[in-house]
Amino acid sequence: MENGRLRRTMLFVPGNNPGMIADAHIYGSDAVMFDLEDSVTLAEKDAARMLVYNALKTIDYGDIEIVVRVNPLSTEFGRDDIFAMVHAGCPVIRMPKTETAQDVIDTEKCIEEAEREAGVEIGKTKILTAIESALGIVNAYAIATASPRIIGIALGAEDYCANLKTTRSAEGTELFYARSAIVVAARAAGVDALDTVYSNVNDTEGLIAQTKLIKQLGFDGKSIINPRQIAPIHGVFAPSETDIEKALKIIGAAKEAAERGSGVASLNGKMVDKPVIMRAERVITLAKAMNLIKEEV
């Protein structure tokens, strides 16, 4: 939840689908990602770019965070994608297949060129990186800290598994190290960590189980491919009434201790230390963001 913005769900929308692009914001996801890369054929790249450009210029998407996944700069489409999206006022560029800090630096340089040409404030366009290979995982922290524009790092599981010479399993054993590395790198860098998509849209139980796992690991949210996945994921990330009540008591105990000039807080006879207070503060922040409690609490 970088900068207080929820990113529990980021809905993938193909950049060549006018209907989905027009309606993407009505389903209630925290973010929408228009894709100019994998979901668009080579023959449609230029048309998709113009379609997304015109949508960003003309459609009011409200408070939903808008992200555009561009093609790599190593392709003939990457630079044109970035320039078009910056000119359209795209808030966040999602880099595909990020493997090194230099990839980020090169993208940032291109974005800055586009901002200067478009008359956009330098630094306004943010970056979300997608790590999709073993090399990317090894360099996760370097990637996450390569630019102040970075708001998060995401896992792309399909390419990562292919790179590992394995396949995805229901339990996700092959992704455990990559997920852990991304969360640790994101937390060390102070940015968000986003998990990969759950491709079986008819398996709600499996989606919930996987979301519980990645929440336990420390992720901020998941990329998704279908609006039906939004409610189950948001449900997993929502603090329970019991969690909120406990967190409020912990915060209250900490405030009382501070008012007494004491560095030690206690609740029900147990010491409340800094990690406990930090967890409670996160619960309250989530609850406020989800309108589960009043902002002034």
Q: Tell me the pLDDT of the chain (297 aa) as tens digits.
A: 555 688 999 999 999 999 999 999 999 999 999 999 999 999 999 999 999 999 999 999 999 999 999 999 999 999 999 999 999 999 999 999 999 999 999 999 999 999 999 999 999 999 999 999 999 999 999 999 999 999 999 999 999 999 999 999 988 999 999 999 999 999 999 999 999 999 999 999 999 999 999 999 999 999 999 999 999 999 999 888 888 888 888 888 878 777 777 767 777 777 777 778 888 888 888 888 777 887 565
Which residues fall within 8 angstroms of residue 113, CB to CB, at 6 or more apart? 83
Question: Is 144 within 8 Å of 192 (Cβ atoms)?
Answer: no
Cα–Cα distance measured from residue 254 to residue 239, given in angstroms and rounded to the nearest whole number: 20
What is the pLDDT at residue 3?
57
For residues 40, 45, 48, 53, the Cα torsion angle rounded to the nearest 10 degrees is 130
Q: Tell which residue, 11, 73, 77, has the closest CA to residue 50.
A: 77
User: How does the average pLDDT of the chain come out, rounded?
Assistant: 92
What's the CA gap between 36 and 209, in Å, rounded?
Answer: 30
Of 123, 40, 60, 125, nearest in space to 87 by CA: 125
Give the model's pLDDT for residue 254: 78
Which element (helix H / strand E) includes 161? helix 157-164
What does the domain layout of the chain look like in residue ranges?
2-237, 241-289
Give the closest residue to 238 by CA, choosing from 281, 187, 188, 289: 289
> Which pLDDT value is given to residue 1?
59
Report d(CA 247, CA 251) in Å as an integer: 6
Report which of 196, 184, 201, 245 is spatially closest to residue 222, judged by C-alpha positions.
Answer: 196
What per-residue confidence (pLDDT) applies to 4? 65
- Both tokens of 293, joined, read 């409690």
The pLDDT value given to residue 203: 95
pTM for the structure as a whole: 0.88
User: Phi, psi at residue 270, to the nearest 5°?
Assistant: -115, 140
Look-up: residue for tokens 């389903």?
27
Question: Measuring CA to CA, how many Å separate 165 from each of 97, 134, 172, 195, 196?
Answer: 17, 11, 15, 20, 18
Write the CATH number of the domain with boundaries 2-237: 3.20.20.60
Q: What is the DSSP string of 95-133?
A: ESS--SHHHHHHHHHHHHHHHHHHTPPTT-SEEEEEE-S
| Pick from 131, 141, 146, 152: nearest CA to 188 | 141
